[in-house]
Amino acid sequence: MHSKVIFHIDVNSAYLSWEATSRLQNGHSLDLRTIPSAIGGDVDKRRGIILAKSIPAKKYNIKTGESLMEAFKKCPDLKVVPPNYDLYMQCSNAMVHILKDYSPFIQRYSVDECFLDYSNMDEHFGSPVQAATTIQTRIYNALGFTVNIGISSNKLLAKMASDFQKPNLVHTLFPEEIEKKMWPLPIGDLFMVGKSSAKKLLNLGIYTIGDLAKSNPDLLYTHLKSHGLLIWNYANGMDHSLVSKESDPVKGIGNSTTIPFDVEDEKTAKLILLSLCESVCMRLRQSNLSSELVHIKIKTNNFHSYSHQKKLLYGSNITHTIYQEVCLLFDEVWDKEPIRQLGVRVSNLNASTKEQLNLFDTTHKEKLQRLDDSIDSIRKKYGNEAILRGCFINAPIKPFVGGMPTKDYPIMSSLL
């Protein structure tokens, strides 16, 4: 009847569930999911926002993205725990490992969300709802956390369905159910309708997803350009994107950091930029890529952001080279306002080849490249802070800033 059957698997309150599960496995008796709790950053380091919350915390109207201070005002007893990204990656991998038993077509959409193509699989694991229920139970029994699973004939509808009532539920949203299940929802619930689009739509008298579906696409184009047509299609349940096994090639690599204090001098700013370049360039090299476009971003202490970018004549992944370009960009654009956050990003990526180094200055560049290679291998062996540039000694700056998605974690069950 349905040509395709797509599942969207979404971990309920992922960071918080994973932390709760991990604590139970490590002998804690309290389940964080049963009390008002949240995963949050460090207030002292000016990173104090809510990253995830428990369902009891949700009842206090605590929202992801708001500051811890606001959250404490709503719920003084809120239990806040710092994030642990390594744990999240392990849990995510363990879940995918299970999902692979039910279809070869799985797309990791984020650390806590997957699409799975269940088309023509009924004879193996039963009807879509039966299979989804089986998957849910297996994940809970093996790994200790709950997921919502949305089922439909395309990815958009499956994703919308997994967002219905939570936790630990399976929902369908086939095209014939759109009118009843999706159209009454407020416009902001639609995938790809954020704050800004919602505001424009409200001004046009469009309040629900149904209103949007029935609106005139020409009008939408006038006010929201191509994005208007995209969300009109979504409101009508139309999406033809495929569950893609291979993850898209990386388009860019970046790291940014909020500094615990306002930076008012060039020297400190450049130290931070160097530490960002260290992590960005190491990631570049690990992917065997080089970059032809370097980009920096500055956020001031009053939250004004601006950026600057530059094309390179030749691709590079050498820390020293990228750092020099970053410094030039910084000098060209910094307006001397106190800095809260700095970011470095590289894009226009190509497979790195050593040939481009032969054009000129060969010995110098080869030396730098060998330096990077040795630093990389030391860090790989002994950790990112095992080796650091002399300028970081006695400086109040971490010599290596930035998260790196780490691969090849053992699956979780082997840790339990």
- Applying CB under 7 A, does 343 fall inside the site for DNA? yes
User: Looking at 40-48, 133-141, 145-153, 175-183, which segment touches DNA (CB under 7 A)?
Assistant: 40-48
- Residue pair 261/227 in contact by the 8 Å Cβ criterion: no
- Binding-site positions for Mg(2+) read 10, 112
| Contact pick of 119, 268, 309, 356 for DNA (by CB under 7 A) | 309
Catalytic positions: 113
Measured CA distances, 362 to 58, 359, 366, 369 (Å) = 59, 7, 6, 10
- Applying CB under 7 A, does 338 fall inside the site for DNA? no
- Residue pair 9/108 in contact by the 8 Å Cβ criterion: no
Pairing of strands 37-40, 79-81: parallel
CB of 204 to DNA, least distance (A): 13
Contact code string over 344-383 relative to DNA, x by CB under 7 A: -x-x------------------------------------
- Residue pair 208/184 in contact by the 8 Å Cβ criterion: yes
- Applying CB under 7 A, does 314 fall inside the site for DNA? no
- Applying CB under 7 A, does 225 fall inside the site for DNA? yes
CB of 126 to DNA, least distance (A): 28
63 token code pair? 């929202």
Contact code string over 266-305 relative to DNA, x by CB under 7 A: -----------------x---------x--------xx-x
User: Looking at 29-37, 127-135, 337-345, 355-363, which segment touches DNA (CB under 7 A)?
Assistant: 337-345
CB of 171 to DNA, least distance (A): 15
C-alpha closest to that of 223 among 201, 205, 202, 191: 201
Site for DNA in 94-133 (CB under 7 A): 109-113
- Binding-site positions read 10, 112
| Contact pick of 63, 64, 168, 356 for DNA (by CB under 7 A) | 64
Whichever of 141 and 247 has its CB closer to DNA, that residue is 247
Contact code string over 236-255 relative to DNA, x by CB under 7 A: ------------x-xxxxxx
CB of 310 to DNA, least distance (A): 5
Question: Residue count at the site for DNA (CB under 7 A)?
Answer: 58
Give DSSP secondary structure letters for 197-244.
HHHHHHHTT--BHHHHHTS-HHHHHHHHHHHHHHHHHHHTT-------
- Residue pair 277/256 in contact by the 8 Å Cβ criterion: no
What is the side-by-side strand order in the sheet with 305-316? 252-263, 339-351, 289-300, 305-316
Contacts of residue 158, Cβ cutoff 8 Å, sequence gap at least 6 = 6, 7, 8, 115, 150, 151, 152, 173
- Residue pair 150/8 in contact by the 8 Å Cβ criterion: yes
Q: Give the Cα-Cα-Cα angle 58, 64, 67 (nearest 5 degrees).
A: 105
- Residue pair 11/95 in contact by the 8 Å Cβ criterion: yes
- Applying CB under 7 A, does 328 fall inside the site for DNA? no
Dist. CA 290–CA 280, nearest whole Å: 11
| Contact pick of 67, 93, 133, 356 for DNA (by CB under 7 A) | 67
Dist. CA 362–CA 125, nearest whole Å: 60
Sign of CA dihedral 25, 29, 32, 34: positive
- Applying CB under 7 A, does 258 fall inside the site for DNA? yes
CB of 368 to DNA, least distance (A): 23
SS (H, E, C) 94-157: HHHHHHCCCCCCEEEEECCEEEEECCCCHHHHCCHHHHHHHHHHHHHHHHCCCEEEEEECCHHH
- Applying CB under 7 A, does 403 fall inside the site for DNA? yes
- Applying CB under 7 A, does 325 fall inside the site for DNA? no
| Contact pick of 28, 59, 73, 364 for DNA (by CB under 7 A) | 73
User: Looking at 21-29, 62-70, 124-132, 175-183, which segment touches DNA (CB under 7 A)?
Assistant: 62-70
Which chain residues interact with DNA by CB under 7 A? Answer: 41, 43, 46-49, 51, 64-65, 67, 69-70, 73, 109-113, 159, 191-198, 225-227, 248, 250-258, 283, 293, 302-303, 305-311, 333, 341, 343, 345, 347, 402-403
